[in-house]
Amino acid sequence: MNFRPRAKEEPEINLIPFIDVLLVILIFLMLTTTYSKFTELQLTLPVADAEQQRDHPKEIIVAVAADGRYAVNKNGVDGKGVDSIAQALRVAATAGPGSVVIISADAMAPHQSVVTVMEAARRVGLTQITFATQSSSASARATGAASR
């Protein structure tokens, strides 16, 4: 039996792996942290009425329902012919030929209804035409709500 005291080894702490782990955590925190920019000036922003901002005189919004009815700037149009729509567009075009026609057609509206609006705009002399759409996520939410 060996009763001699053994030489105790001093525990050694290796700091290199510890520093490596801390650096990885630091880099991860730096990449995932969002920084807010604070302004040095205190500003009081002007107040505006939202409804007045949406009222653009150069925009003419033409709504086309699924059953073929028309509305120009939220006013219903009597008749479904090109002449009645052209007359409504002529009245709504307060900015003249520089007005923009925004066609907001239902997804189930007949193709001919949209072509009729385009023809009426051409007859009045409105050449700037665009189409209103919604994002696919808003459409999915509307479909989900309708199916409930």
The answer to whether position 4 is within a domain reads no
Q: Which pTM was predicted?
A: 0.55
The answer to whether position 10 is within a domain reads no
**At 146, is the pLDDT very low, low, confident or very high (cuts 50, 70, 90)?**
very low
The answer to whether position 104 is within a domain reads yes
Domain count, the chain: 1
- pLDDT above 60 (res 43): no
Where do the DSSP E strands lie in 27-98?
59-64, 70-72, 75-76
45 sits in which H/E element: none
The answer to whether position 45 is within a domain reads no
Angle between helices 111-124 and 82-92 (to 10 degrees): 50
The answer to whether position 82 is within a domain reads yes
Q: Considering only CA atoms, which of 117, 106, 107 is closest in space to residue 62?
A: 117
The answer to whether position 98 is within a domain reads yes
The answer to whether position 52 is within a domain reads no
The answer to whether position 70 is within a domain reads yes
**Parent domain of 76:** 64-134
Give φ, ψ of 72 to 5 degrees: -110, 115
88-142 per-position pLDDT tens digit = 888 888 777 778 898 888 888 888 988 999 999 999 888 888 888 776 555 444 4
